Amino acid sequence: MKYFIGNWKMFGIPKSINILNKINSFSSRDKNRNRYRVIITPPYTLLESFSKNFKNKRIIIGSQNCYQKDKFSSNTAAISSYMIKKTGAKYTLIGHSDNRLEGDTDTILKDKVKLALENNLKVVFCIGENKLQKKKKQTFSVLKKQLKKVLEKKLNKNNIIVAYEPIWSIGTGKIPNQKDLSKTVYFIKHILKNIFKKKSPEVLYGGSVDENNVKMFKQIKEIDGFLIGGASKSSKKFIDIIKNYYR
Ligand code: PGA
């Protein structure tokens, strides 16, 4: 199964549902529809209405983050996995570099993953090196640490997907070369197999994916799908990414 996940970040108001209606109607008729899943992560404000709207439809709604405490607590503006699950959302991103930069540590991320899984949300766990780490050739050691500090064998790997998003690639138009990326995704799967002692969870790529470069990514067999930021705010671009992937 392949994944096309659209991460809206701080974008979207109720009428933005028009974008998703178009993606949904394309994907419901697409001859390749059984080969992939479409997940969109709008901001918290839209989780409930979008989840209701797309219940039993092609588009699956997910959250962009969740808080590291469960149920209800006295943390202003925090939203727990329990609250997310009750909106009808099925997935949550955890560990996006935006949130790591704002203070999410490995310990916090570990709590978030645990609570999300306990609340029956599927987790898309994001990892990635920054520009300096890449320059210093620390990519593999950074990724290994990010995975090993948070994921462990006792977690249900069937509800975990890993998204590799090099920070230097997010929103910059820069993408890794095919050879490097292929090696990196292979390495991530190797570490994951080691952690879970069996088959690796799916590994996605994210960072400046668009309707043109998706053909290059397709050549890399290890990649199980994409986490798409900028291009997911346009129904045309998002649909073209899927179309071009299967062309
Ligand atoms: P981008 O964002 O596609 O705009 O680079 C990806 C992400 O941050 O998930």
Closest residue CA from atom 6 of ligand 1? 229
Residue type, 205: Y
The alpha helices in the chain, defined as continuous H runs, are 17-29, 47-53, 81-87, 97-101, 106-118, 131-135, 139-148, 178-196, 214-218, 235-246
Name every protein residue with a CB atom under 6 angstroms from any ligand 1 atom: 7, 165, 170-171, 206-209, 227-230
Domain 2-245, CATH number (from 3.20.20.70, 1.10.3720.10, 3.40.50.360, 1.10.520.10): 3.20.20.70
Whats the size of the chain, residue-wise? Answer: 247
Q: List beta partners, residue 126.
A: 163
Nearest ligand 1 atom, CA 206: 6
pLDDT at position 4, please? 98
From the list 68, 47, 66, 62, the residue with the least C-alpha distance to 6 is 62
Low-confidence residues in the chain, pLDDT < 50: none
Closest residue CA from atom 3 of ligand 1? 229
| Residues tagged active-site | 96, 165
Give 125-140 as a 3 state SS string: EEECCCHHHHHCCCHH
Q: How many A from CA of 74 to the centre of ligand 1? A: 31
Q: How many A from CA of 197 to the centre of ligand 1? A: 30
pLDDT at position 227, please? 98
Collapsing DSSP to helix, strand or coil, 59 comes out as strand
CA distance 67 to 85: 12
pLDDT at position 177, please? 96
Tell me the domain boundaries of the chain. 2-245
Q: How many A from CA of 167 to the centre of ligand 1? A: 9
N-to-C CA span, the chain: 17
- Site to probe by mutation for ligand 1, drawn from 65, 96, 170, 237 as the one with most ligand atoms within 8 Å of Cβ, is 170
In our burial notation (b when 16+ CB lie closer than 10 A, e otherwise), range 181-203 reads bbebbebbbebbeebbeeebbbb
Nearest ligand 1 atom, CA 93: 9
**Who's near 93: CB < 8 A, 6+ residues apart?**
7, 41, 62, 63, 64, 65, 124, 126, 163, 227
Residue type, 235: S
Collapsing DSSP to helix, strand or coil, 57 comes out as coil
Q: How many A from CA of 6 to the centre of ligand 1? A: 9
Supply angle C-alpha 224, 139, 151, rounded to 5: 60
